[in-house]
A and B are shown apart, each in its own frame.
Chain A
Amino acid sequence: MTLIELAQAIGDVLTQIDTMLQTPGMSDSDWQTLYALRKHLDDEQRDLIGKSIKEADATYQQLTTKLNAASTQLKTVIGDLTKVGNVISIVSQIASYADQILKQV
């Protein structure tokens, strides 16, 4: 996965989060937590674009695989207001993987 593809994957996650944040019914504290995570991921996407990395690096590949898996998992719960806790947990994981990738570049 190239860095621009990774930025695209994060963009897809941002789009999913936006859909959730635009859906009424979430508690205020959950909304604020998810919004803060959205801001963090947004910053990470901006920081990733234009960076260079060895795409064959094993750690990078492991992290992007985990990030993609989490992104897929997110799609199964994203619209469900009864699973906001899961959404926040998965988005936190995605942000953490992106953090780790940023430390590599």
Chain B
Amino acid sequence: MNFIRRRQFVQSVGILSLAVLISFPIGCGPEDYQKPLQQFQDSSTVVINTARAFLNNENTIEQDSVIDDVVFQRKPLNLPEIKKIEIISQQEIEIRTKALDALAEYTSNLAQLAHGKAGSAVGDQTKKVSDSLKTLAGDAKKLPATKSTFLDNPKFSGIASAAASAIGDVAQLMVEHRARREIEQSIESNDAAVTALIQQISDDATGSYLRQQAQLGAYGVQLSRDYQIEIGRESGDPILLLGFAKTVKDYRLQESQLASANPAPAIEKMKKAHSALVAYVKSNKDPKTFAELKKAVQDFVSAAQPLGQAVQSLVSAS
């Protein structure tokens, strides 16, 4: 059971290993500013893929939890019923991960603005981000009330809609070629709505992570209990007990890998790096603000890196 679970998890996060491989070695551009901006984008990719992986794994987590419990209690196993357990739909996952993609794109546009590239193309791209978020907010609003209680779609829709409007305001000023100072002011004043969306996605991913943690903990308890029962039998099978030892070791490995795969700290650092970028945009390339941006991005990279490493370990252990 443990192997199946791990394989499913690994499949769902497999893309991450590729992201990690391509993320960290690159990023040094000819100009000093390119490195932190590239690092920000690369780390964002890692975080987005981690969030996507956890959300994708959510149904499996809850289904596996029921299977573990049924087997543990020696009850009849009704797989067709278990298959019907759906905590999060594919559409709900898509909406959230596409929103993260849009946020990463917005940050990239801010980076270009920071270096005096506030031309029509950047304005158009930013407008596309706003339109995309508007669509996602609309889609989230149309979703039926969740079958489970796992996600609050109306709340997500409201927050995404506010972020879309905020980014739309910035895009409008860019498209109209308004004064740089005015655009910077708009970015700063609208940024609370953008960070609120990052926070909401962080909460969704954290919820998913917590459920994975709870399910794995329950599995460890059941494993330990079954072992105690088995060694209490007079006719205990030594081969079976050796098998238990292997399963316990696999469980412990998975437990340590999961501990390193919590996306919440990295998303928190992503928020701080985003804020530092907004401050840098407004600073007119002030060296002190740039130093702060570099530090915030480095903190973000440091927080994102273990996520990729944890997933790499999961992949190699499968």
Please list the residues of chain A having a beta carbon within 8 angstroms of any beta carbon in chain B. 2, 4, 7-8, 11, 14-15, 18, 21-22, 24, 31, 35, 38-39, 42, 45-52
Which of A4, A35, A38, A39 sits near B207, CB closer than 8 Å? A4
Residues of B within 8 A of A50 (CB): 146, 149-152, 204, 207
Residues of B within 8 A of A42 (CB): 65, 214, 218
Answer whether residue B7 sits at the interface, using C-beta atoms and an 8 A cutoff: no
Number of A-B residue pairs having CB atoms within 8 Å of each other in the complex: 66
Cβ–Cβ contact A18 & B210, under 8 A:
no
Residues of A within 8 A of B150 (CB): 46, 49-50
Q: Could you list 6 further interchain pairs (A-B, Cβ under 8 angstroms) beyond the known A14-B217, A21-B225, A49-B150?
A: A7-B210, A8-B206, A39-B69, A42-B214, A45-B210, A46-B148
Answer whether residue B211 sits at the interface, using C-beta atoms and an 8 A cutoff: yes
**Most chain A beta-carbon neighbours within 10 Å: one of B65, B204, B211:** B211
Bound form: Cα–Cα A34–B269 in Å: 37
Cβ–Cβ contact A4 & B206, under 8 A:
yes
Q: Report B211 CB to chain A, min CB distance, Å.
A: 6
Q: Nearest chain-B residue to A31 (Cβ)?
A: B225
Query: Chain B, 124-161, contact with A by CB distance < 8 Å: what is the 0/1 string?
Result: 00000000000000000000001011111001000000
- In order of increasing CB-CB distance, the 3 nearest A-B pairs are A49-B207, A18-B217, A22-B224
Residues of B within 8 A of A45 (CB): 210-211, 214
Residues of A within 8 A of B213 (CB): 11, 14-15
Bound form: Cα–Cα A38–B219 in Å: 12
Answer whether residue B299 sits at the interface, using C-beta atoms and an 8 A cutoff: no
Answer whether residue B220 sits at the interface, using C-beta atoms and an 8 A cutoff: yes
Bound form: Cα–Cα A14–B210 in Å: 10
**Most chain A beta-carbon neighbours within 10 Å: one of B152, B211, B217:** B217
Residues of A within 8 A of B18 (CB): none
Residues of A within 8 A of B218 (CB): 18, 38-39, 42
Answer whether residue B203 sits at the interface, using C-beta atoms and an 8 A cutoff: yes
Residues of A within 8 A of B211 (CB): 45-46, 49
